A = this chain, B = another copy of it.
Amino acid sequence: MQFELTNDFLELLKEDIARLDSDTVSAKVGQLHPVDIAEILDEVNLVEAQFIFNLLDDELGSEVLVELDEDVRERFLASLSNEEIAEYVDQLDTDDAADIIGELPEDRQGGVLAEVDDDEQASDIAQLLTYDEDTAGGVMAKELIKVNVNWPIVNCVREMRKQAEDVDQVFTVYVVDDNDVLLGIVSLKKMLLSSPKALIKDIYKEGIRSVEANMMAEEVANLMEKYDLVVVPVVDENNRLLGRITVDDIMDVVREETSKDYQMMSGISENIETTDNVIVMSRARLPWLLIAMVGGIGGAMVIGNYEHELQINPQMAFFIPLVVAMGGNVGIQSSALIVQGLANDTLSKDGMVKRIFKELIVGLINGIACTAVLMAYSFIFGYPLALSLTIGASLLAVILFAAAFGTFMPLTLNRMKIDPALATGPFITTSNDIIGLLFYFMIGRLMYGLF
């Protein structure tokens, strides 16, 4: 049942293609799930991919198109005429169709839409294209089943049969009034269990959670997750039913969002995978490395101010990595908690000051524990008192600062409508490093002056 793409399968398939053996290739891929076919097309070269793609019928081809990697699809679409694209788009659900047309160069979008045979499909897609892709409107599909509140069930079933032709997965039947205003839902289960003569108004469930078209997709995701919704209707500002969002679409939003935060923390600026080529991979990573390097140069400048002290007490240099690493770790811990809380909408109800205060207490507890271990170590190994006190005091200072800074930054970025995950990336952690070095050497100069 389950198809597993192997290197062997690919090798043999490539040989079949090299022999232009359409029948064998058709037999091998024609029965696969569109997702699996797309995976194959992502792994072969463009000419081979086109050979396979041309063997698929329109319906299968259109579904494969949806599942392709974005860069592969871009090259694919570039090689197709407006008319050909329109044929595939005609087969698709409106949300997928809008995604594909949205990826085309702007000057081609109108041309492709004009070639779509089904006028309703074309106007639905055109409407979806007007929404920002990060909003509910940008994620929703127009396909849904709705019935009028005044109908009897028997009418509905007839009407639903007609509508159901266009809808792959029927989750719920929406109930609307004459002006398309969303009133509630009637579940298929309820319809199965009721007499065909009953009126919808007598069996429907009033009041249903809906989202407005301009709500951010991320918020929709949190809402659906919180309330375990499989599908949610999308309405306009007058509560008129526009479309619906299903959980599989929203799962992509969740995955993308968490991936983005994860990559941000790892210092990767684009959505890359191990299958991308070395140029793409290098490009996605170089910016963060350069930022880290500028930070490192900043650190060198800070330390450079203390060259004289280092000459007298070279042992000061021993604990530079320790102080810097501890500040970095504490800062990331604090920031990551906030970033994750913001993303999942699980942040406590406290204000900024209370939050920072709480982090300072956590920092104090952990800072004292770490400092105790470190002081014990430095006494056992017989470091000078001034050095022991310097590393102890600066460790505590760095941890407290990093805890407060790590909490403050993502919250502030979020208020400024900047992605708070930036606070876990190299930019902020680098500032953290420099401040840590400043603390360390300032305290060092003081301590060596005293003792």
Chain A residues engaging chain B, CB cutoff 8 angstroms:
1-2, 5-7, 33, 35, 43, 157, 160-161, 164, 167, 169-171, 187-189, 192-193, 207-210, 223, 225-230, 246-248, 251, 254-255, 258-259, 261-263, 265-268, 272-275, 278-279, 281-282, 285-286, 288-290, 292-293, 295-297, 299-301, 303-304, 307, 310-311, 314-326, 329-330, 332-333, 335-338, 340-341, 344, 346-350, 355, 358, 361-362, 365-366, 369-370, 373-374, 377, 424, 426, 430, 433, 437
Give the shortest distance, in Å, between A98 (CB) and chain B (any CB): 17
Which of B230, B267, B268, B366 touches A285 (beta carbons < 8 Å)? B366
Residues of B within 8 A of A225 (CB): 248, 251, 255
- Taking each of A160, A192, A358, A369, which has the highest tally of chain B beta carbons within 10 Å of its own beta carbon? A192
Q: Which of B247, B275, B338 is close to A251, meaning CB atoms less than 8 Å apart?
A: B247
Which are the 9 A-B pairs with shortest beta-carbon distances?
A296-B322, A266-B336, A310-B314, A317-B317, A299-B321, A300-B318, A275-B348, A228-B248, A258-B258
Q: How far is the CA of A392 from the CA of B355 in the complex (A)?
A: 42
Q: CB distance B349 to A7 under 8 Å?
A: yes
Which residues of chain B have C-beta atoms less than 8 A from A188's C-beta?
170, 188
A165 CB, nearest partner CB in chain B, Å: 8
- Smallest Cβ-Cβ distance to A315: which chain B residue: B307
CA distance A370 to B289 in the complex (A): 7
In the complex, A311 Cα to B228 Cα: how many Å? Answer: 64
The CA of A270 and the CA of B258, in the complex, are separated in Å by: 18
B362 and A207 within 8 A (CB) = no
Task: Give complex CA distance A310, B373 in Å.
Answer: 26
Q: Given contacts A299-B321, A366-B286, is CB(A193)–CB(B164) below 8 Å? A: yes
Cβ–Cβ < 8 Å partners of A316 in chain B: 317
User: Are A289 and B366 also in contact (CB < 8 A) when A189-B164, A311-B311 are?
Assistant: yes
Max chain B Cβ within 10 angstroms of own Cβ: one of A5, A228, A301, A430: A228
With contacts A1-B207, A311-B314, A333-B285 taken as known, whether A374 is within 8 angstroms of B293 at the C-beta atoms is yes
Chain B residue nearest to A164 (CB atoms) is: B189
Q: How far is the CB of A407 from chain B (nearest CB, A)?
A: 9
B318 touches A304 (CB 8 A): yes
How far apart sit A268 and B341, CA to CA, in the bound complex (Å)?
Answer: 14
Complex Cα spacing A208 to B299, Å: 60
A35 touches B227 (CB 8 A): yes
Q: How far is the CA of A373 from the CA of B225 in the complex (A)?
A: 46
12 of the cross-chain contacts (CB-CB < 8 Å) are: A43-B349, A254-B254, A255-B344, A262-B336, A263-B340, A275-B346, A285-B366, A295-B322, A297-B377, A299-B318, A300-B318, A307-B315
Does A340 contact B262, Cβ atoms closer than 8 Å? yes
Seed contacts A273-B337, A299-B321; 9 additional CB < 8 Å A-B pairs: A230-B248, A255-B344, A266-B333, A285-B330, A289-B329, A296-B319, A300-B322, A303-B321, A311-B314
The answer to whether B321 touches A33 (Cβ under 8 A) is no
Once the chains bind, are A278 and B361 in contact (CB under 8 Å)?
A: yes
**Which residue from chain B places its CB closest to the CB of A309 in the assembled complex?**
B314
The minimal Cβ–Cβ distance linking A289 to chain B, given in whole angstroms, is 6
Which residue of B209, B230, B293 is within 8 Å of A247 (Cβ)?
Answer: B230
Which residues of B sit under 8 angstroms from A272, Cβ to Cβ? 337
Nearest chain B residue, comparing its CB with the CB of A367: B289
Given A193-B164, A278-B365, A362-B285, check contact A273 B346 (CB 8 Å): yes
Q: Which residue of B lies closest to A210 (CB)?
A: B1
Query: Which residues from chain B contact A377 at a C-beta distance below 8 Å?
Result: 297
If A207-B1, A247-B247, A262-B340 touch, whether A297 touches B326 (CB-CB below 8 Å) is no
